Structures are given as structure tokens and as C-alpha cells.
Structure 1
Amino acid sequence: MKAGDTSLEPPQSVINAPTKSRILVVDDHPAFRFGLRELISDMAMAEVCGEAEDAATALAAFRELKPDLVLLDISLPGRDGIELTKMMKAEAPRTPILIVSMHDEAFYGLRALRAGACGYLRKDDSLDQLEDAIEHALRQDYYLSPRLKRHLIQQFLQNNGQPQESYTLQGLSDREMEVFHWLGKGLGTRQIADRLGLSVKTIETHRAHIKTKLSLESAEDMVKLAREWKLLGEKPANRMAAGRN
């Protein structure tokens, strides 16, 4: 530094420090977001750049922050994670989105991939799996949990490589599955319409299609099945929320 020059130059180590990948965390459970922050803070090449607890806030943060990766739950106030994935990928096709959900991958795994996600994990998967998935996603690579791989292979073999056409939950469209999800949460038609920003008539149409596809005799049977599915498919997931031990 020349005499009289009061400018400060950053240390060489700071100049050469690698840029960390910026991750947006979207989940409506504060404890789980905390667990993700703790996990990511231990990663040398990544950091949390923002958080969101609902679909509208997530989309606004996505547009403002332009993250390198989005960790996204499915069950969110407003639009669900599948619809949100489609919207984000439409705006930024090269931004990887990794779904981390309590839902069984047998119901949502393939839907998430078709929507544009680069991977799908359950919240009760190990922390090592999640860290591995994040590293894959940041490399623009796909990550499938062992369970999802087995499920996709079995589905492929059972259908001789053809798309599944049977009237099971897999036969529901993404929007019908979203309505089914909120039925399982105990919401009525008008409440679902308000939450999804759709008309009551549109929700009634989706309900009718669901009832037909699932070969159910009444609306009561449909609601009962949706609630049973929620109880079976959503189990408490505390491993990630607890952070590393």
C-alpha cells in the first residue's frame, strides 16, 4: 500500500473464497425450516438465502432472490408444491427444485418429476440423503431416493413400460389430487375454492371427477377415503427438524 493510501484491500483468502450456492427453503413448519437451515449451514458450498411458509410468499421470494436451488414442500397454504414447481420452472427452467415432503412418494414422486422437480425425498429420510440430494441438485443432476427408484421400476414393469391408466389415486390429475388433499384436511368445497383461487363450480367438477375415477358411490365415501389417506400417508417427521445430533 502506498504512503497516504488509506484504502483497504480484502485479504487474499477472501478474494479466493468460493461463492456459495443460494438456497430458498419453502415449508409451512418453522421447526422443519430450522432443521434445514442447520443442515445447510454445515455445507461448505451452500447457504440459505431466504425462507417462505406459503405459496404466494415463496413465488415472490423466488422472483426477487433468484436462488440457485429451491427446497419445496408439497402441502402449503395456497397452491401446493406441484403447481408451484410448474410455475417456478416456467419462469426459470434451469433452477433446480427439490421436493421434500411428508407425503408418500408412491403418490407424489412421479408427479413431482413430471412437474419439473429434480428429485423427491420424504421428511423422514436421513440427513445424509438430504445432503446428497442437495449436492446432486446443485450439479443439475437428478436425485431419487431408493424407495422412489423401486416404486418407479415396479410401476414400469407392471405396466410393460406404458403409462398407468388404472383408476387409482395415480389416475387423478394434479389439480384433482390437490383437491383430494384438501378434502383429507377437512376442508369443504367453498374453503377449497378460496384456498386455490378457483370457483366453487370448478371444485365441484373436480370432486365429481375424483368420485368417478375412484369408483366411489357418494361424496361421503370420497371424503372418508381422503381422510384415511391423509392419516396413512402423512406420518410425523422429526428427524430432519431435529437437526444433526
Structure 2
Amino acid sequence: MDDHPIFRDGITQLINHQPDMLVCGGVCSAAQAMSSVEELKPDMLIVDISINGTNGIEVIKSIRAQYPTLPALMLSSHDENLYAERALRVGARGYIMKAEAPEKVIEAIRRVLDGSLYLSEAIGGRLLDTFLNGRTSNGCGSAVDQLSDRELEIFHALGEGRSTREIALTLFLIVKTVETHRAHIKEKLKVQTAPELIRAAVEWVNSQANQ
């Protein structure tokens, strides 16, 4: 499931070149996802964060509620430091960045099909450290953990300097919806003004980049 046809075609060709793998279908929106799973009965899902109408984490959550044994791999351009843990929480069996080499993508797919987890060494080590030592936070880190997956997407985009209109276009949302999410983020982070929100977002994005 990916909303970019060129990338979807590329990953399809990569998988279909494997002697023991075949892509049985592809969709670009959350609305198509459940019906396609029911019809095609795949052995696993490969899902991107960015999907028309919602996000990949919500899609996995919904499908896993009905098909709890269906494995899913998150394959995305979004930073694994932001989304890998959230993907695992809703039932994904792995997370890999689109920038990885094709052989790594195939390795991740095979690992998930075999019933194992797949994470990069860096993120796997970080999550293990979090599990062993407890979550640490600085700045507004603990408050950011309270954000929904969509709110986190928007908060991250704000920290990258994107405008409300740019975010709406990127996430296939209307401007009013993004503004509503911004209001909820402000409430959860206990900030009063738009400049305070932007400053908190920029500081948080910078802190993530330095981890």
C-alpha cells in the first residue's frame, strides 16, 4: 500500500523478480485496503506511512484488528526514529526505510514472512535500550508521545518548516483538518500560541536528528 504509483511499481517489480514471491495486489488508499485484503488474502502486507485518507499505522491497526495473524512490514521514507516504535505497537513486524538497498528490502520481507522482526541495527538497538532502561525524554518529549500518529506527522512537518497548506497537500487533507490537528497538538503540548508551537516543533525535530 503506497500512494506513489512509481514507487509501488518499482517495489512490485523487485518482489516479482524473486523466484518464490509474487505481488498479488496494490492499493493507494485506506478505503481500498480492507476490501483488497478480504479479496486477495495476502501472506503479508507492505505499507507506507503516507496513504490517501489516513496513514499506514492506522491502516495496519484496522486490518490487524480483523486479521490478527497477518504480518505487516512498514516500508517508508519517514524517519524510523519517529515511526518504527509506533508501527510495532500496532502490530507491524518490521520497519525499513525506502532509501535502503533493494537486497535489504527483500531481506526485510523474508524476515517478516518467516515470522521474525526486522529493524535496522540502529533503531533495534535504540528500542532495546528503551526497553531495558525505560523511556527518557528531554524538552517536550514525553508530551509528544501523547500525540496521535497523524498529529505526530503534522508536528514533525511543522518542525521542518512546512506551512499548513503544504502539510494539507502532502497528507491529502483539507486545510481545516490540519488546523484542527494543530489545535489539538497545542493543547496536548500545553503551548498557547502558533509561534510557541512552531518553536517546540523545530526544537523537537532537531533533537531527533541529533539522537
Stretches of structure 1 lacking an aligned partner (at least 5 in a row): 1-25, 234-245
1:130 is aligned to 2:99 = no
SS in 2 for 1:110: helix
SS in 2 for 1:48: coil
Q: What is the deviation of 1:95? A: 0.6
Match of 1:145 in 2: 120
Give yes or no for contact 1:179–1:203 (8 Å, CA) kept in 2.
no
SS in 2 for 1:53: coil
Q: Which amino acid aligns with 1:138?
A: L
Distance 1:182 1:50 in 2: 30
1:47 is aligned to 2:22 = yes
Residues 146-190 of structure 1, C-alpha deviations (whole Å, 9 max, x = no match): 222133134346xx23x45663244423343255467676446xx
- 2:88 aligned to 113, 117, 127, which one? 113
Structure showing greater Rg? 1
1:82 is aligned to 2:57 = yes
- 1:177 aligned to 152, 155, 161, which one? 152
Give yes or no for contact 1:121–1:145 (8 Å, CA) kept in 2.
yes
Match of 1:34 in 2: 9
Distance 1:222 1:216 in 2: 6
Distance 2:192 2:119 in 1: 37
Distance 1:29 1:91 in 2: 26
CA pair 221-173 structure 1, distance change in 2 beyond 3 A: same
SS in 1 for 2:82: helix
TM-score for both structures, normalised by structure 1? 0.67
Higher RCO (Cα < 8 Å, 6 or more apart):
1
- 1:99 aligned to 59, 74, 79, which one? 74
1:71 is aligned to 2:46 = yes
Q: What is the deviation of 1:225? A: 6.6
TM-score for both structures, normalised by structure 2? 0.77
Distance 1:75 1:229 in 2: 21
Q: Which amino acid aligns with 2:53?
A: G
Moved more, 31-40 or 98-107: 31-40
Match of 2:130 in 1: 155
Identity within the alignment, % = 40
Moved more, 146-155 or 81-90: 146-155
Q: What is the deviation of 1:142? A: 1.1
Residues 160-239 of structure 1: pairs in structure 2 closer than 5 A: 160-161=133-134, 163-164=135-136, 167-168=140-141, 169-180=144-155, 186-187=163-164, 204=180, 206-214=181-189, 216-222=191-197
Aligned residues: CA RMSD: 3.4
